[in-house]
């Protein structure tokens, strides 16, 4: 009769003591990495919610930039016209509210760019067309906050931009991807469109790729009673 042999590998005592510690550290590291972006997203949303509830000032000064939040009426029921003129907006001021119900997107849009404004919401590039004007309106936002689900927009989805002077409806016609150094999708165009983009989702560091959508303008509704389209600033 053959003698049975024990195939179990016996680890040294020091290895048996160290292994649970290493596993614990590894698991903790994975949990930490997975929680970084949700924390950043929640932190930004909480900050915006706090600021939206504050009525003590007309704006916030950040490093010399006066950030103005505008109370934009997204339930306007007054008269509208398909023709009109977009209202001028100051750099750092909120110029719109952007909504895409298919992905649960509802975000304030500021006129300008930079880290301070991107902490508050999305940004309408100053070199692009104002919402409702002829040409290409370009809006960007952080992927770890407001534009987290932007890549989930599908062709045919509806995107709506509310401003103090009108409501503009768009339809997604194309999903895009490009390098951060490329400006091909950010240039002015002969057609009236809305371009939305953000960084490609990446767990650590920043990506050199940008993802987004191109939307065609399907409806213009300029408010004939502009005072009804805004409720002042807060």
* DSSP per residue, 197-229: EEEPP-SSS--SEEEEEEEEEEEEEEESSGGGG
Residue 29 lies in a domain: no
Residue 9 lies in a domain: no
Q: What is the pLDDT of residue 19?
A: 72
Q: What is the pLDDT of residue 45?
A: 45
Q: What is the pLDDT of residue 98?
A: 98
Closest by CA position to 65, among listed 20, 111, 9, 124: 111
Residue 229 lies in a domain: yes
pTM for this prediction: 0.72
Domain CATH for 227: 2.40.260.10
Q: Exactly one of 123, 142, 148, 215 is catalytic; which is it?
A: 142
Q: For the CA atoms of 200, 127, 43, 65, what is the dihedral angle to 10 degrees?
A: 150
Residue 88 lies in a domain: yes
Q: Exactly one of 95, 123, 148, 199 is catalytic; which is it?
A: 199
Residue 64 lies in a domain: yes
The residues of the chain scoring below 50 in pLDDT are 36-58, 61, 232-234
Residue 7 lies in a domain: no
Residue 10 lies in a domain: no
Residue 46 lies in a domain: yes
Q: What is the pLDDT of residue 12?
A: 74
Domain count, the chain: 1
148 is catalytic: no
Q: What is the pLDDT of residue 58?
A: 43
Domain extent at residue 78 = 42-233
The token pair that represents 2 in the structure block: 């053959």
34 is catalytic: no
The CA distance from 87 to 96, in Å, is 11
């Amino acid at each position: 009769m053959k003698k049975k042999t024990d195939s179990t590998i016996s680890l040294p005592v020091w290895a048996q003591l160290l292994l649970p510690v290493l596993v614990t550290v590894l698991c903790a590291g994975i949990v930490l990495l997975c929680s970084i972006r949700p924390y950043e997203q929640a932190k930004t949303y909480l900050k915006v919610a706090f600021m939206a509830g504050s009525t003590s000032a007309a704006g916030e000064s950040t490093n010399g930039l006066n950030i103005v939040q505008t109370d934009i009426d997204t339930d306007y029921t007054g008269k509208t016209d398909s023709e009109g003129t977009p209202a001028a907006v100051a750099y750092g001021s909120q110029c719109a509210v952007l909504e895409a119900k298919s992905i649960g997107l509802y975000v304030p849009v500021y006129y300008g760019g930079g880290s301070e404004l991107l902490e508050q919401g999305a940004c309408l590039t100053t070199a692009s067309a104002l919402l409702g004007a002829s040409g290409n309106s370009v809006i960007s936002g952080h992927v770890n906050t407001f534009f987290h689900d932007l890549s989930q927009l599908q062709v045919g989805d509806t995107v709506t931009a509310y401003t103090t002077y009108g409501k503009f409806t768009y339809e997604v016609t194309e999903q895009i991807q490009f390098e951060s150094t490329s400006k091909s999708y950010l240039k002015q165009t002969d057609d009236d469109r809305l371009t939305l983009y953000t960084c490609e989702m990446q767990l650590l560091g920043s990506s050199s790729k940008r993802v987004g959508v191109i939307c065609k303008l399907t409806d213009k509704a300029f408010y004939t009673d502009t005072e009804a389209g805004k409720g002042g600033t807060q």
